[in-house]
Amino acid sequence: MILSKILFLLLFSFLLGCEEDQTYSKKIISNHENSADGNISNEGADLGAEPISRVNELNAERPPSLNDEIVIPIDPVSQIQSILIKANPDYRGQGKLHEENGEIIAAEFPNCGLKDLSPLRGLKLSALDLSGNPVRELRHLRGMPLVRLYLEFTLVESLEELVDAQLVELRLNGSPVESLKGLEGQPLENLYAVGTQINNVSALSSSNLRQLWLTESPVSDLSPLAGLPLVSLTIHRTLVEDLSFVRKLPLIQRLHIGETLISDLTPLRGLNLTRLVFTPSQIEKGMTIVEGLSNLKEIGTQFDDQGKDLMPPDAFWAQFQP
């Protein structure tokens, strides 16, 4: 009797399970058919499934895999700034880099504490300002198509690494540069070399110099400048004695020879000078030549950061007592 009951219960459970399987199969088929029609049923929620829209959201929120290809745009300015900061402990990124068509073409780093210029290697800079930095060497600038370079108040002594440049303007004021070697054949027009150690200007003999400042430099021979298109020449407080080279400066208009060893002004005869600064007490010969310069508009004994006393020739000669 007991055995019969057990068999009956087993048979009943089996039949009930078959019915549930059929119901479950009908739900899957129904969902599949609705899906094919474009209608997504939520009846599958009891199966733990997410609606497709939610699945897409989850995929969108999924963090990128290591296998995903990630393209990060590189900002050349930020990249160079970062490398400069790492290479120069005193640099804080205050310099300016200028781009054109995605390429860095100019840079300004005045008084920025730069010593190591290696991060600039390979850049195609046409203009670079390094004034006031403790830079000593320029080897990392080799190959740059530099047109303008400012090295005022740096520690640079040699310019030989600039042989590949095409300099039109170079500023060396206050730097211990000893030689202009490296500038040969460059189209230099403006050279500022006040307070340097330059004692030889032969490297400038084939330049296009129009303005030259050599104040307080130990140069004595300026004959290599003969024939250049110089318009303005300042050799204030140099060791120059012989002024004869100016006869071969046909375009010269402004001349500052104050506090030099020059005592003979006769080479100025026939020049179209508009400004002359000199030290009358030093002159032994040629003062009448100066009085006869018809184009002279300004004349004086001082023209520098300490002061100026330029005046019209008539006023000057009225004050001057030979």
pLDDT at 44: 36
216-232 average pLDDT score: 97
DSSP annotation string for 154-203? S-----GGGTT---SEEE-TTS-----TT-TT----EEE-TT------GG
Give the domain ranges of the chain: 112-219
26-55 average pLDDT score: 38
Report which of 181, 128, 117 is spatially closest to residue 151, judged by C-alpha positions: 128
Distance CA 291, CA 162 (A): 44
Residue 246 pLDDT grade (very low, low, confident, very high; cuts 50, 70, 90): very high
Instruction: Please state, rounded to an integer, the average pLDDT across all residues of the chain.
Output: 84
Looking up tokens 């078959």 gives 18
The domain made up of 112-219 has a fold known as 3.80.10
pLDDT digits over 77-112, tens only? 999 999 999 999 999 999 999 999 889 999 999 999
Three-state DSSP state, 217: coil
Three-state DSSP state, 61: helix
Q: What is the pTM of this model?
A: 0.76
Residue 261 pLDDT grade (very low, low, confident, very high; cuts 50, 70, 90): very high
Distance CA 48, CA 83 (A): 53
Question: Taken in order 316, 318, 321, 322, is the CA torsion positive or negative?
Answer: positive
* More reliable by pLDDT, 72 or 228: 228
In the 8-state DSSP scheme, what is residue 233? E
pLDDT digits over 107-128, tens only? 999 999 999 999 999 999 999 9
Query: Is the pLDDT reported for residue 14 higher than 80?
Result: no
pLDDT at 269: 96
